[in-house]
Amino acid sequence: MEILSRNFDAESEYWDKRIENEGSVPDIRKVTISKDIFYIWDDPVIEDILRGEYRRFIISKASENRGGNVLDIGCGTGWLSLELARAGMNVTGVDMSKERITIAQKYFKKLKKLENVAGNINYIACPIQMASFKKSVFDLIVTWDSLHHIPDIELIIKKMTEWLKPDGKLIIFEHISACFWNKIVIMIIFTLPVISKIKILRKLRSKVLKKAATQKAPFEGITKLEMLCAIKKYLEVQTFKTALAISYYVAPYVYGNKVLRYKIIKFFKRIDDAIIKLRFLRGEYIFMWARKR
C-alpha cells in the first residue's frame, strides 16, 4: 500500500508540473489560441473540427437524464465537467492532480457569479483507484483521454459498473496512439504524389487489416484490446469505433490564413473518416459507449 501511495504521489506531482509548464483550459468556450501552432487543442475551432462530435454526443447522452448524476474521471481543470453542468447535470469531477482540481474549483466558483449554470459540480482531488462512491449513484460516467493512465483497467471498470445506476451509461474517448501501419501510411501521405499513394494504399490494405486485427497498441499501460475486453465483461457495448487516424498528425502542419487552414483540416477530417470506415487504418483515439446490463 505504501508503494502504491508513493506511485500515486509521483503521478500527481507529474500532472501538477504539467499545469505549471503548459497552463490550463478550465472552460472550452473561453480558450485563447496558443502561440504554439503545433498544440492544436488550444484552438477551439480545430478542437471542434476534430473532436467536437464526440463532446456533443456526451452532452446529448447526459441530457437524456437532465438533472442526473455524472462522474467525470480524470476531469483535469474541469472543462468537460463544466459543459455537463451547463447542460443541467450534477457532476462529480475526479482528478489525482491537486493543482488541476484547485484551478477547476476556483474557476467554477468565479463563473457562477457571472453565468447561470443550470447544474452543479463537486470536484475531488483523488486517484480514481482510491475513490469511494455508493453503489448505483451515477446515471453517466465519462472518461476523456484519461483512462489509459490507469494500470488496472479491469478493476476500475468493475468499480464504475457498481457506481452506475441500472441502465446507466459509460462513455469513453481515449488516446491509444498509432500502430505501425498507421505511421507507414502517414509517411506516404506526406511524401508521395497522389497516384503513388493510391496504388500503395491498395497494396497495403490487406496487410493493414491483418495487422490491426491482432496488434495491441500499448500506451501508458493500457491497450485498446484490454479496454474493450474489460468493458464487455461488465457492460453492454453500444458503439465502438476509432477516430483521427491522420488528421491528428496533419493539423499541426497546416499553416497560413485561418479560414483556409480550417477548411484544409476539415478536408483531411473527411478523408480520415472515410479511410477509417474503409478499414485502411484505425484511429489514434477510440470512442465507445456502453450500458449497464
**Radius of gyration over every alpha carbon of the chain, rounded to an integer in angstroms:** 20
Amino acid at 68: G
pLDDT for residue 31: 73
b/e map 168-195, b = 16+ CB within 10 Å:
bbbbbbbbbebbebbebbbeebeeeeee
pLDDT for residue 213: 40
pTM above 0.85, yes or no: no
pLDDT for residue 5: 46
The Cα 80–Cα 197 span in angstroms is 38
pLDDT for residue 228: 84
pLDDT for residue 51: 94
Q: Domains in the chain and their CATH numbers?
A: 2-179+218-244+278-292 (3.40.50.150)
pLDDT for residue 197: 46
Mean pLDDT, contiguous 10-residue spans, the chain (293 residues): 47 47 71 61 89 96 93 95 97 94 95 94 94 96 86 88 96 77 54 49 48 40 71 93 87 86 94 88 89 91
Query: What grid cell was written down for 236?
Result: 453492454
Q: Output the CA torsion sign for 252, 254, 258, 263.
A: negative
pLDDT for residue 223: 61
